[in-house]
Amino acid sequence: MVGIIRAKTAGFCFGVKKAVDKAFEMADPDKKVYTYGPVIHNAEVIKSLSEKGVRLIESEEELRSLTEGTVILRSHGVPKAIIDLLKDKGIDYVDVTCPFVKRIHDIVYLESEKKQIVIAGNPAHPEVEGIMGWCKTPADVISTEEEAQRYVPKDGRDVCLVAQTTFNYKKFEKIVEIFEKKSYYVSIVNTICNATANHQTEARSIAEGVDAMIVIGDKKSSNSRKLYEICSEVCPKTEFIQTVSELTLKQDGSIATVGITAGASTPNYIIEEVQNYVRREF
């Protein structure tokens, strides 16, 4: 029988669990409950919430046209302007922004007055969009070491460097090194969430020792994608799936151990399904 190593850190992190629990607690088909953007990046969870009557608002325009109801604000945070808009309209909201993301909002809100905020992250990710929306002056986003090398702050301003909570820790360290060598003044706040770093370290160490690795997560989840990147660097037979039905990995006699990990927005029951399948079929 194949050996299975399931990461202890697989699945919901503290912030996501809190947000999802709150959304399910508030779900009520008789009331108008909305989430602004998906409350977490997991299609299965969103589907199950929508079956319980929680509607998804996908754009600011849609939010503007709202006249009543309660809006749940996603775990990876929203720009300040969205909260101001809801307040102006007198619409109730429940902010389930993860406290670790909120901490970044607070830092950039304070520091952006005097310093140039640089965010190490993915500019297209809603968390980064949210962080940018708390800066009083426009922030810059960099995602690679090359961009860090080329970077010059506007008007010679001092720099405050923060990171998207799910940013790769090793990449951030390299960017920090580059920034430290630059002559302008830089303050660095490591805002990578421990859950992410622990998740990544454990995934790498499992992937190093197994014949095949399965990473479960929504394709839109940046932390899941990063786990996949990390695992495939050290384990060539790494697969990234959303649910068990997508698994193409087959037992060909060469697989004695399988590692399983899952992104921070993957519900437990999906991990269980994959684990049971591997136990049965390998």
Residues 6+ apart with CB under 8 A from 128: 119, 121, 122, 141, 164
Report how many residues bind ligand F3S under the rule CB under 6 A: 13
Q: Which is nearer to ligand F3S, 101 or 249 (CB)?
A: 101
Among the listed residues 93, 100, 167, 172, the single contact to ligand F3S using CB under 6 A: 100
Q: How far is the CB of 257 from ligand F3S (least distance, A)?
A: 27
By CB under 6 A, residue 196 contacts ligand F3S: yes
Residue 67's closest CA among 92, 94, 101? 92
By CB under 6 A, residue 107 contacts ligand F3S: no
Beta strand 186-188 with 159-163: parallel, antiparallel or unpaired?
Answer: parallel
Q: E strands of 33-156, at which residues? A: 33-36, 54-57, 70-73, 92-95, 116-120, 140-142
By CB under 6 A, residue 190 contacts ligand F3S: no
By CB under 6 A, residue 26 contacts ligand F3S: no
- Left, alpha or beta for 107 (phi > 0: left; psi -120 to 50: alpha)? alpha
Catalytic residue among 127, 177, 180, 246: 127
Among the listed residues 7, 10, 16, 132, the single contact to ligand F3S using CB under 6 A: 16
Among the listed residues 78, 83, 98, 161, the single contact to ligand F3S using CB under 6 A: 98
Q: Which is nearer to ligand F3S, 25 or 155 (CB)?
A: 25
Please, are residues 263 and 221 in contact by the beta-carbon 8 Å criterion? yes
Q: Which is nearer to ligand F3S, 132 or 195 (CB)?
A: 195
By CB under 6 A, residue 220 contacts ligand F3S: no
Q: How far is the CB of 149 from ligand F3S (least distance, A)?
A: 28
Contact flags string 152-171 toward ligand F3S, x per CB under 6 A: -------------x------
Q: Which is nearer to ligand F3S, 112 or 196 (CB)?
A: 196
User: In the annotation, is 127 catalytic?
Assistant: yes
Residue 153's closest CA among 145, 143, 161? 161
Cα-based angle 165, 97, 264 (whole degrees, multiple of 5): 50
Please, are residues 189 and 165 in contact by the beta-carbon 8 Å criterion? no
Contact flags string 255-274 toward ligand F3S, x per CB under 6 A: ---------x----------
Question: What's the CA gap between 32 and 85, in Å, rounded?
Answer: 18
Which residues contact ligand F3S by CB under 6 A? Answer: 13-16, 75, 98, 100-101, 165, 193, 195-196, 264
Q: Which residues are catalytic?
A: 127
